[in-house]
Structure 1
């Protein structure tokens, strides 16, 4: 057997959290990161801390056994491409050195026990690199023994705090008997509020445009809401409802909410109590799920070529590269779609619904499915988009882009945007403009595009061409007439003259 050559463009991050240990392995390709491995084990390290913050031998043993599994996978990765970070429990444990010495021996690597502040800033970096927010963003990550609360703008964290409360420590403290009752919940919420109130005024005074949750608790709540046919934005009202639904089971062992995974169940209620306290204390109106967190923040710090600022552009360029998109045609359709949107800006609120970047993205990516085959290429495009991460776009934006791609040509199915909830009207606007832009660009040449006028009145679109232009372009005229029929089937009116 020859010696294994480490792969230069492969990176690994191990995060020794207070609830779970995670290993993330990614490959840097086409100007982006592709996850090629994830391993997660519930170690519940924080459960091994006693009142004097001494970590039990049993908890350490669980951690070491998990790291022995991780060590096998690290052999093929260059040493300089591996980073291992440890968080709250190993910050708190008075005997953390005992754990660390043995762990470093098992892994053959140094473990960095990072401060709460650095953890908060790195979590923010992970969120900033995987989502796109133009203004200030509030990011919350509920861990096993600490909760990080950050407000940042762009890639910079402005306010960052690591609070001494987590879903494992609060489980031990407030749900010790595993009973679910209003009094247990209220005690946990009150304790969490006492911790958060110290920073509440400063954070509320700074303000934010978007709130994102980067933890398993937020993801678990979102999965429960989706299972109950609710949209995926968290609000205090929804959290109260889930709290009441949980109390009805009376014990954690019996807790069986639709959408709640088995591995999340044990620490779910303590995480929910902390989240309710955060919503109450910081007066958060709504929150979505963040695309990345601590591991992604560490990863993006390690890969120098990813330190560029336009994440959406990086994502779209990566797709175009990977699927050999005809870039001239993509930009032709995109610029025409944006031009059409500009003409009806007064009548349709596409811009105020933040739809322009989504229209641009779907127009540039609408042909990625051509690499598979022509006839159903719109469906292939939608499938690829739906099942690939899109850093820079939120979960709901990602869904809109995939749905519009799916409906951008041939028959449109009735109700195809129903699953988008509040975004279904926006998707309808975008698809109507994109379909026209695709037809008008069918010759794949710049010089054949006519001067056009587009007027929107309520749901009616009126498309006007120069005299005789349609007569001189019979195929285009015929395609537009068919499009008018297609749109009328869904009750949309398109007038072509």
Structure 2
């Protein structure tokens, strides 16, 4: 029986998107993504009337999408419109025609509804505990949300966006310091008008997934740097844009050509958000509005662990031996629990990626034993892993790539997480894999652990090491590798 298909259409101010998925028994699989740069917001005049040309661009895209929607049950389709159609006084002209073309009614989201749905999309597709501050910069609006786990606590939408700001401050195409300063100042006025609404709410991490932030992450990847966006990087990119002088002349390695027209205006808004909220770093999320709509529509989506489904699906797909993964995971949990209170570089939330690495450490074997670590890391880096943000996915790939043999400290230093955190997590994963290498429950050791700030002492039951001489020898070699990580490994016989 074919799994049901689901379609989510987001009529944004800059682009129209269609996300097509199907729900499998143990995962959500993305079947297709379709995107068209409609730039609807550029068709709004000063009286908030959409031009005939903008309406026709939007309707043409609806005709494209309508062809695909014929294959879906009506109850499996969600079509929503956002900021530009909220603002447009003649929106009914577009919506009525679009409804007829699609054969499905468009839902006009309020700003708060959009913000809350964006937060759900971020929360469902990441696995970060605690309070999250989420930014989403669209074509005609910017959403700001603070939430705890999967529940938004405060959600607001401001009428500032990369398309509308581009028309106001960069319309002539000139990239000047004064244009950036004016755009940033105007954005800060809007943000400061609502900042009191967020007083008393704290956040542990800042996330964003809209086009501006994705473009910045792509630039960082091109530079072979961690995709962690900080204020200094934003200012450096602003200076590069000013040096280009005009939008037509923008040439920055890693910046996709489609993103260029509204990149400067989006950057100005993001700088304002960083300054007002005193943000130090922002991480790229793997979901936003469309994912929030999807998980609201899927049966029982709110009760499932998306990350767990992703891991289980990959284990089945790559024929990972579940029993061996469970052995490695059980030892890793003992090691992590024994170290987390004494190793300052790790916290309880870090076990999420350790657990994933232990379960998926052998996915590369399906390709070939030779270079299986590289194969496994490649699979992770090139897979759509719902439930994992960019940092977690990158760390997972590193743990799989470095699970045995010589440790590459330069590789560890290139991660989003601090080097000492990567070192601590890698130490736990390597030991767990090594101690479970006999691949049988009866050969798992009974461990005693003593950990200190930069050391770990392992104790084994009587004669266990003597009856496992190969593991004992590999532990002696591991002492040298741990030295690279700045951790003293002691083996007490």
Same structural fold, with TM-score higher than 0.5 when normalized by the shorter chain: yes
In the TM superposition, what whole-angstrom CA distance separates every residue of 1:243-302 from its partner, at most 9, and x where no partner exists? 222112221111222222111111011111111111222222221111111111111111
- With 241-250 and 340-349 compared, the bigger mean Cα shift is at 340-349
Q: Does 1:286 align with 2:290?
A: no
- With 93-102 and 354-363 compared, the bigger mean Cα shift is at 354-363
In the TM superposition, what whole-angstrom CA distance separates every residue of 1:393-433 from its partner, at most 9, and x where no partner exists? 32112111111111213454463323215433322222232
Instruction: Name the TM-score, length of structure 1 as normaliser.
Output: 0.92
- What SS does structure 2 have at the residue aligned with 1:469? coil
Pick closer, same or farther for the CA change 1:309–1:200 going to 2, 3 Å: farther
In the TM superposition, residue 102 of structure 1 has moved relative to its aligned partner by 1.8
In the TM superposition, residue 103 of structure 1 has moved relative to its aligned partner by 1.5
- What SS does structure 2 have at the residue aligned with 1:379? helix
- What SS does structure 2 have at the residue aligned with 1:331? helix
Question: Aligned partners of 1:413 and 1:287: how far apart in 2?
Answer: 26
Question: Aligned partners of 1:132 and 1:126: how far apart in 2?
Answer: 12
Is the 1:192–1:274 Cα contact (8 Å) retained in structure 2? Answer: yes
Question: Aligned partners of 1:126 and 1:277: how far apart in 2?
Answer: 24
In the TM superposition, residue 340 of structure 1 has moved relative to its aligned partner by 1.9
Q: Does 1:277 align with 2:272?
A: yes
In the TM superposition, what whole-angstrom CA distance separates every residue of 1:325-381 from its partner, at most 9, and x where no partner exists? 332321221111121233334543353384322212211221233333444433332
Q: Does 1:206 align with 2:201?
A: yes
Question: Aligned partners of 2:307 and 2:105: how far apart in 1?
Answer: 34
The match for 1:314 among 306, 309, 327 is 309
Question: Aligned partners of 1:341 and 1:96: how far apart in 2?
Answer: 56
For this pair of structures, how many residues does the alignment match? 492
Matching of residues 190-229 of structure 1 within 5 Å: 190-229=185-224
- What SS does structure 1 have at the residue aligned with 2:281? coil
Which residue of structure 1 aligns with residue 74 of structure 2? 79
The match for 2:389 among 385, 394, 410 is 394
The match for 2:234 among 230, 239, 249 is 239
Which residue of structure 1 aligns with residue 258 of structure 2? 263
Matching of residues 23-422 of structure 1 within 5 Å: 23-308=18-303, 310-352=305-347, 354-413=349-408, 415-420=410-415, 422=417
Question: Aligned partners of 1:195 and 1:266: how far apart in 2?
Answer: 23
Question: Aligned partners of 2:404 and 2:75: how far apart in 1?
Answer: 48
The match for 1:444 among 424, 439, 443 is 439
Is the 1:31–1:306 Cα contact (8 Å) retained in structure 2? Answer: no
Question: Aligned partners of 2:115 and 2:169: how far apart in 1?
Answer: 25
Pick closer, same or farther for the CA change 1:282–1:485 going to 2, 3 Å: closer
- What SS does structure 2 have at the residue aligned with 1:180? coil
Question: Aligned partners of 1:247 and 1:323: how far apart in 2?
Answer: 48
Pick closer, same or farther for the CA change 1:418–1:471 going to 2, 3 Å: same
Which residue of structure 2 aligns with residue 14 of structure 1? 9
- With 388-397 and 296-305 compared, the bigger mean Cα shift is at 388-397
- What SS does structure 1 have at the residue aligned with 2:207? strand
Pick closer, same or farther for the CA change 1:347–1:209 going to 2, 3 Å: closer
Question: Aligned partners of 1:460 and 1:194: how far apart in 2?
Answer: 51
- With 354-363 and 294-303 compared, the bigger mean Cα shift is at 354-363
Pick closer, same or farther for the CA change 1:484–1:236 going to 2, 3 Å: closer
Is the 1:10–1:77 Cα contact (8 Å) retained in structure 2? Answer: yes
Question: Aligned partners of 1:400 and 1:116: how far apart in 2?
Answer: 35
Q: Does 1:476 align with 2:464?
A: no
- What SS does structure 1 have at the residue aligned with 2:303? coil
Question: Aligned partners of 1:489 and 1:125: how far apart in 2?
Answer: 41
Unpaired segments of 5 or more residues in structure 2?
none
- With 234-243 and 184-193 compared, the bigger mean Cα shift is at 234-243
- What SS does structure 1 have at the residue aligned with 2:396? helix
- What SS does structure 1 have at the residue aligned with 2:434? helix
Pick closer, same or farther for the CA change 1:37–1:466 going to 2, 3 Å: same
- With 151-160 and 452-461 compared, the bigger mean Cα shift is at 452-461
- What SS does structure 2 have at the residue aligned with 1:231? coil
Which residue of structure 1 aligns with residue 425 of structure 2? 430
C-alpha root-mean-square deviation of aligned residues, in Å? 2.4
- What SS does structure 1 have at the residue aligned with 2:134? strand
Question: Aligned partners of 1:168 and 1:147: how far apart in 2?
Answer: 11
Question: Aligned partners of 1:165 and 1:486: how far apart in 2?
Answer: 52
In the TM superposition, what whole-angstrom CA distance separates every residue of 1:66-96 from its partner, at most 9, and x where no partner exists? 2222222222222221111111111111111
In the TM superposition, residue 210 of structure 1 has moved relative to its aligned partner by 1.3
- What SS does structure 1 have at the residue aligned with 2:206? strand
- What SS does structure 1 have at the residue aligned with 2:146? strand
- What SS does structure 1 have at the residue aligned with 2:100? helix
Question: Aligned partners of 1:117 and 1:237: how far apart in 2?
Answer: 31
Pick closer, same or farther for the CA change 1:73–1:180 going to 2, 3 Å: same
